[in-house]
């Protein structure tokens, strides 16, 4: 199968480019230097000439706080880019697999979010990603939108790498303990997307196109996640950090509000397409083992 991976230098895109050839796929890996997805004409031209059979969009503007000062750029990448890809895929009659986010929810629900819950993002980043989801759903019939949570990976910047750096520099870490979510290893997201990319005929047959949640398990807090990172890293190296102190969101203000609850229910993906997320500690071990 010929797959185009958009956003090849991101956390998930990097994993996709490493894993797709091992599965026998004919892969084209594009980042912004190869294709600016905000340019509708370029998207249409390059996809039409590529001979592609499925597109995986892992490109996004993900600077949550900076998006508050750069809404036009955030919407250009997160709304207009997916819209251009969806329109081109519709013309070519091929599927689009698109990564979305837990930030489309406001975090006020007391339990895990399901796919048909009300979407009310708190900031520009979440609003721009939601607009991209809506564009894909409007323009294309054969799509999968995978909403993920708290992504961390081997490549790129993420929470795990920040905690590791600070744990090597400080004796105390102060981490928010009143925000809940599901850490998700970028490699697991990539594996899921590649499996789904090869199952188009099956998804056609069961009318399985649509929106799904995918995240690691179990749910935790940023403080719980940080504590696990320190625990597992300490088994591999000597660290000066002595304590991981729990603080509140109010103790750590940010320009963009974060959802207090980002826990996603993944039962629909398991029931309809047979995919069960892995424990996030497995992915965390994998990341730490390559450092």
Q: Which residues are catalytic?
A: 125
Non-local (6+) Cβ contacts of 183 within 8 A are 149, 150, 152, 159, 215, 216, 220, 225, 280, 283, 284
Q: If we measure between CA atoms, which residue out of 285, 164, 163 comes closest to residue 216?
A: 285
Tell me how far apart the alpha carbons of residues 91 and 46 are, in angstroms, rounded to a whole number. 13
Tell me how far apart the alpha carbons of residues 67 and 73 are, in angstroms, rounded to a whole number. 8
Q: Provide the b/e sequence for 252-289 (b: ≥16 CB within 10 Å).
A: eeeebbbbbbbbbbbebbeeebebebbebbebbeebbe
Phi, psi of 132 (to 5 degrees): -65, -40
Residue in the structure block whose two tokens are 């993906």? 269
* Other residues' Cβ atoms within 10 Å of the Cβ of residue 238: 7
- DSSP assigned state of 98: E
Task: Yes or no: say if 211 and 242 are a contact pair by the CB < 8 Å rule.
Answer: no
């Amino acid at each position: 199968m010929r797959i185009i991976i958009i956003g090849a230098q991101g956390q998930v895109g990097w994993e996709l480019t490493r894993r797709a050839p091992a599965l026998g796929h004919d892969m084209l890996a594009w980042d912004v230097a190869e294709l600016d997805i905000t340019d509708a004409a370029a998207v249409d031209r390059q996809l039409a000439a590529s001979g592609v059979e499925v597109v995986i969009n892992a490109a996004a503007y993900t600077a949550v706080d900076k998006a508050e000062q750069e809404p036009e750029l955030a919407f250009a990448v997160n709304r207009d880019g997916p819209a251009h890809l969806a329109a081109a895929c519709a013309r070519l009659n091929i599927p689009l697999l698109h990564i979305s986010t837990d930030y489309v929810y406001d975090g006020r629900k007391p339990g895990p979010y399901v796919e048909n819950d009300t979407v009310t993002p708190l900031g520009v980043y979440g609003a721009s990603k939601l607009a991209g989801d809506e564009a894909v759903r409007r323009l294309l019939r054969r799509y999968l939108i995978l909403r993920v949570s708290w992504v961390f990976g081997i490549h790129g910047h993420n929470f795990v790498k920040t905690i590791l750096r600070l744990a090597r520099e400080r004796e105390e870490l102060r981490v928010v303990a009143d925000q809940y979510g599901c850490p998700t290893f970028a490699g697991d997201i990539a594996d899921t997307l590649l499996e789904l990319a090869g199952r188009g005929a099956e998804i056609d047959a069961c009318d399985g196109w649509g929106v799904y949640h995918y995240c690691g398990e179990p749910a935790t807090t940023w403080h719980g996640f940080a504590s696990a990172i320190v625990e597992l890293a300490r088994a591999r190296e000597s660290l000066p950090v002595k304590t991981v102190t729990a603080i509140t969101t109010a103790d750590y203000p940010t320009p963009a509000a974060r959802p207090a609850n980002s826990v996603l229910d993944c039962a629909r993906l398991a029931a309809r397409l047979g995919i069960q997320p892995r424990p996030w500690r497995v992915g965390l071990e994998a990341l730490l083992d390559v450092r």
